[in-house]
């Protein structure tokens, strides 16, 4: 299956490993991701707080480009996924917004028919292409690795078709298919604090602390995320959480695509493993060694 790939701005900087591992794993599994030419920022949650017509129009430029390409749009970032999807719904369901945005787009020689481009999260795209079936016999099963699947907010809320909004299981199923053990912990869809890490650090650190604590108390060795903002909050600010709360968390936080790649026997470097602040390599050493011995690289 061929998709237009929308990396999103974070994947060019703090989320670089997510971009590397998404492209590498998709290619390995036969999912063709063609980068949307000249894509622009989706507007994130921030732009919507400033101007509505403008936020929807800027976001819609990407839908116009995808429509021109004739492909559905795949986003690895949960915020991009929600914003682009929401823009399509707004234009589809709300005639007033549609007419305003259409005239804005027309001024820039752009046009979009609402509903013509499907927006999918990368996890959703994998599931749709029966990746779970194909992962059943991975060359390097991650036996014994206890992983807390962290969904966060915007991959399942406000509403999605591919999973349950309150009790999602898709990421648990991926972790299980890779041979690892998905850890149940009750806060898997609670918020990491998102951009509050910049504007209200105390609130965000407390939210991260609650997530890390719950994952650890339920026996997790590490977490996997589906969003670059969740990853940076939980990984790069784990030290700040420890300093504030006197905790000693040392929980690596990987993107789910990195975990997939490891189980597929791909080299860590190709997956951007090593870019984390909390180094996952000591934990992953037995699996990396096994992959090398088995010669699956």
Partner 1 sequence: MALQGDIVLESGTRHDFIDELLSVPGGERLKDCIQCGTCSGSCPVSYYMDHPPRKLFAMVRAGMREAVLDADSIWLCTSCYTCTLRCPKEIAVTDIIYALKRLAMKEGRVKGAERAMALASSFVDVVNHRGRNFEPELLIRYYGRTQPLNLLKKSGLGLKLLLRGRMPLRGESIKGRDQIRTIIEKSREIGGQ
Q: Applying CB under 8 A, which residues contact partner 1?
A: 9-10, 12-17, 38-41, 43-54, 57-58, 61, 82, 90, 93-94, 96-97, 100, 103-105, 107-110, 153-154, 157-159, 165-166, 189-191, 193-196, 198-200, 203, 207, 236, 239, 274-277
CB-count exposure of residue 250 (10 Å: 0-12, 13-18, 19+): middle
Question: In terms of CB distance, is 59 or 140 closer to partner 1?
Answer: 59
CB of 192 to partner 1, least distance (A): 8
Question: In terms of CB distance, is 40 or 217 closer to partner 1?
Answer: 40
Q: Distance between CA 24 and CA 7 in Å, rounded?
A: 13
Question: In terms of CB distance, is 198 or 293 closer to partner 1?
Answer: 198
Question: In terms of CB distance, is 6 or 126 closer to partner 1?
Answer: 6
Residues 6+ apart with CB under 8 A from 86: none
- Half-sphere exposure (Cβ direction) of 274: Cα atoms closer than 13 Å: 9
Rg of the chain over all Cα atoms, to the nearest angstrom: 19
Residue 102: which of 85, 81, 87 has the closest Cα? 87
Question: In terms of CB distance, is 96 or 295 closer to partner 1?
Answer: 96
CB of 174 to partner 1, least distance (A): 22
Report how far apart, in Å, the C-alpha atoms of 145 and of each of 136, 175, 183, 278 are. 16, 10, 10, 17
Coil, helix or strand for 91?
helix
CB of 157 to partner 1, least distance (A): 4
CB of 9 to partner 1, least distance (A): 4
Question: In terms of CB distance, is 141 or 168 closer to partner 1?
Answer: 168
CB of 276 to partner 1, least distance (A): 7
> Are 213 and 245 contacting, i.e. CB atoms less than 8 angstroms apart?
no
CB of 291 to partner 1, least distance (A): 22
Q: Tokens 């920022």, residue?
A: 41
């Amino acid at each position: 299956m061929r998709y237009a790939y929308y990396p999103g701005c974070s994947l060019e900087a703090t989320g670089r490993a997510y971009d590397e591992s998404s492209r590498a794993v998709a290619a390995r599994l036969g999912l063709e991701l063609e980068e949307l030419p000249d894509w622009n920022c989706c507007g994130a949650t921030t732009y919507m707080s400033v101007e509505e017509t403008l936020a929807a129009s800027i976001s819609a430029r990407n839908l116009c480009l995808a429509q021109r390409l004739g492909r559905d749009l795949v986003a690895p970032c949960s915020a991009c996924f929600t914003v682009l999807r929401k823009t399509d719904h707004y234009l589809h369901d709300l005639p007033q917004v549609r007419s305003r945005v259409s005239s804005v787009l027309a001024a820039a020689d752009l046009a979009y028919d609402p509903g013509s481009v499907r927006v999918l999260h990368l996890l959703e795209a994998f599931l749709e292409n029966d990746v779970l079936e194909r992962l059943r016999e991975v060359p390097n099963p991650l036996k014994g690795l206890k992983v807390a699947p962290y969904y966060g907010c915007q991959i399942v809320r406000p509403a999605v078709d591919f999973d349950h909004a309150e009790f999602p299981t898709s990421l648990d199923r991926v972790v299980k298919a890779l041979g690892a053990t998905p850890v149940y912990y009750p806060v898997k869809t609670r918020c990491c604090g998102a951009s509050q890490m910049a504007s209200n650090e105390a609130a965000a650190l407390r939210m991260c602390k609650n997530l890390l604590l719950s994952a650890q108390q339920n026996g997790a060795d590490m977490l996997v995320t589906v969003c670059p903002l969740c990853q940076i909050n939980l990984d790069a600010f784990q030290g700040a959480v420890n300093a504030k709360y006197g905790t000693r968390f040392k929980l690596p936080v990987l993107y789910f695509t990195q975990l997939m790649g490891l189980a597929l026997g791909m080299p860590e470097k190709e997956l951007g493993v090593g870019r984390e602040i909390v180094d996952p390599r000591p934990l992953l050493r037995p699996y990396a060694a096994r992959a090398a011995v088995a010669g699956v690289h």
